[in-house]
C-alpha cells in the first residue's frame, strides 16, 4: 500500500484521535514528504543513469571512429614518409671521384627538408639541399614539388637533355634559383624555402655554388681548416613579402675541392637542435666537431656528427628537421 493511501485511511477512520491528531498528522505528512522526495530523486537518478549510459555509448562509438580515423592518418603519414625518404639520394656511393653520405631526421613523420644529387653530364653533378618553412604535410608537399622540378628531365636544371650526356647543356646555379624564385611565389604556395645549389666538376674538383637564405655550405679541408661559403640571397618565395620592389639576384661563389676535401650541406636544424635544458647545439660546437673529424672519411664524419647531435639532445625530439649531406672528393 502506498503512503498516500495509509494517510487517507487513517484520516478517514472513525477512531477518536483528537488529542494526538496534530502530532500524528505532522509526522505522517513529514514521512509522506520524505518518501515523495526519495521517489522523485530516485526517478531523477534513474533518468540520469539512462542518459549517462546513452551518452557513454555515443562517446565510445565516436572514440572508436576517431581511433580508426587516426590509424588511417598515421598509415597515410607513414606511407608519405616512406615516399619522401625514397626521394633522398640512392645508390650514389659509387660515383667516380666521389664518396657520398647523408642523414635525415624529420621533426614530424614527414618534413620540409629534402636534398639530392643529379648527374648533369659526364663530368658534372648538381647537388642541392632545401628547407621549406614550417613542418608537416604542407612543407613536405612543397619540398616534393621542388624535388620534381629539379629532376633533370623537368627542364629547370638542364637546358637540353640530349641522348648523350656529353652534349647536355645545363643552367648555372644562379639561373636555377632565379627560375625557382619566379615559380614558387609566397602568394601561390603560402610558403618559402631556403636552398643551396652546387654544380661540381668531378674531374677537376671545381664547383660553383649559389644560395638563397640557406646555411652556407662548408668545405672541410685536409689540413683541418673550414672554408665557409656565403648564405647568398633571401629565401625563395619572399619577393612578394619585401616592402621594396628590388631586382633579386643570386650571386655565385666558386671553389675547388682537392683530393681528400669534403663538401658539407646541412639545414639549420643541425645547429638549432636543443637539449632538454633548452640549450642550442650552436654553430661553434658544430664547426669544432667538423675540425676534429676532418681527416676521417665522409661517412664517418656524417654518422658521428649526427650521433653527437642526438647525444646532445639527450632524447629531446628535434624541433626542426635535421639534414646532413656530405661529399668527399677523392
Residues 64-102: pLDDT tens digits? 777 777 766 666 556 666 666 766 777 666 678 899 999
Supply the pLDDT for residue 244: 53
In the structure grid, which three cell numbers stand for residue 93, read together?
656511393
Return the percentage of the chain with pLDDT > 70, whole number. 78
CB 263 within 8 A of CB 219: yes
C-alpha cell at 80: 608519405
CB distance 266 to 215 below 8 Å: yes
Confidence bin at 319 (pLDDT 50/70/90): confident
Statement: residue 323 has pLDDT above 90: yes
CA gap 127, 88 in Å, rounded? 12
Percent of the chain with pLDDT over 90: 45
pTM assigned to the model: 0.76
DSSP class of 233: B
Q: Judge whether 170 and 120 are in contact, CB under 8 Å.
A: yes
Contact 256, 204 (CB under 8 A): yes
Name the average pLDDT for the chain: 83
- Position 4 confidence tier, pLDDT thresholds 50, 70, 90: low
How many CA atoms lie within 13 Å of 307's alpha carbon, on the beta-carbon side?
6
Residue 286 clears pLDDT 60, i.e. is over it: yes
For the cut 60, the answer to whether the pLDDT of residue 21 exceeds it is no
Give the sheet arrangement for strand 262-266, strand by strand: 98-105, 322-329, 262-266, 218-220, 226-228
**Residue 107 DSSP SS3:** coil
- Pull the grid cell for residue 15: 477512531
**Whether residue 248 has pLDDT greater than 60:** yes
pLDDT at 56 over 60: yes
Bridge partners, 227 (sequence order): 219
CA distance 14 to 296: 115
Say how far residue 303 (Cα) sits from the centre of its chain: 21
How confident is the model at residue 289, as a pLDDT?
A: 96
Calpha distance 151→45 (Å, rounded): 69
Please give the C-alpha separations between residue 284 and each of 134, 300, 313, in angstroms, as whole numbers.
25, 20, 16
| Cell numbers for 92 | 650514389
Find the mean pLDDT for residues 91-115. Answer: 82
Q: CB–CB of 124/200 below 8 Å?
A: yes
Burial of 298 (0-12, 13-18, 19+ CB in 10 A): buried
Q: Is the dihedral of CA 205, 208, 212, 213 positive or negative?
A: positive
Q: Enter the C-alpha cell of residue 27.
A: 509526522
Amino acid at each position: 500500500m502506498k503512503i498516500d493511501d495509509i494517510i487517507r485511511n487513517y484520516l478517514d477512520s472513525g477512531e477518536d484521535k483528537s488529542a494526538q491528531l496534530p502530532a500524528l498528522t505532522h509526522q505522517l505528512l513529514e514521512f509522506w514528504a520524505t518518501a515523495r522526495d526519495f521517489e522523485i530523486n530516485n526517478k531523477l537518478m534513474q533518468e540520469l543513469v539512462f542518459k549517462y549510459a546513452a551518452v557513454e555509448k555515443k562517446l565510445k562509438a565516436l572514440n572508436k571512429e576517431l581511433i580508426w580515423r587516426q590509424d588511417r592518418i598515421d598509415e597515410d603519414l607513414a606511407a608519405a614518409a616512406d615516399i619522401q625518404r625514397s626521394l633522398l639520394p640512392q645508390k650514389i656511393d659509387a660515383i667516380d671521384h666521389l664518396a657520398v653520405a647523408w642523414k635525415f631526421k624529420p621533426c614530424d613523420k614527414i618534413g620540409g627538408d629534402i636534398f639530392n644529387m643529379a648527374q648533369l653530364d659526364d663530368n658534372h653533378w648538381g647537388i642541392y639541399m632545401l628547407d621549406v618553412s614550417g613542418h608537416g604535410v604542407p612543407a613536405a608537399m612543397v619540398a616534393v614539388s621542388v624535388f620534381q622540378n629539379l629532376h633533370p628531365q623537368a627542364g629547370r636544371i638542364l637546358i637540353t637533355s640530349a641522348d648523350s650526356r656529353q652534349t647536355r647543356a645545363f643552367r648555372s646555379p644562379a639561373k636555377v634559383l632565379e627560375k625557382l624564385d619566379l615559380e614558387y611565389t609566397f602568394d601561390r604556395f603560402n610558403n618559402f624555402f631556403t636552398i643551396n645549389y652546387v654544380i661540381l666538376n668531378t674531374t677537376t674538383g671545381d664547383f660553383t655554388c649559389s644560395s638563397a637564405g640557406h646555411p652556407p655550405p662548408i668545405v672541410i679541408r685536409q689540413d683541418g681548416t673550414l672554408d665557409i661559403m656565403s648564405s647568398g640571397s633571401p629565401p625563395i618565395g619572399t619577393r612578394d613579402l619585401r616592402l621594396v620592389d628590388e631586382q633579386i639576384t643570386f650571386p655565385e661563389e666558386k671553389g675547388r675541392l682537392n683530393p681528400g676535401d669534403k663538401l658539407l650541406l646541412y639545414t639549420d636544424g643541425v645547429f638549432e637542435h636543443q637539449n632538454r635544458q633548452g640549450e642550442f647545439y650552436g654553430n661553434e660546437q658544430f664547426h669544432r666537431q667538423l675540425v676534429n673529424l676532418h681527416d676521417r672519411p665522409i661517412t664517418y664524419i656524417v654518422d658521428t656528427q649526427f650521433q653527437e647531435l642526438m647525444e646532445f639532445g639527450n632524447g629531446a625530439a628535434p624541433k626542426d628537421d635535421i639534414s646532413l649531406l656530405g661529399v668527399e672528393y677523392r
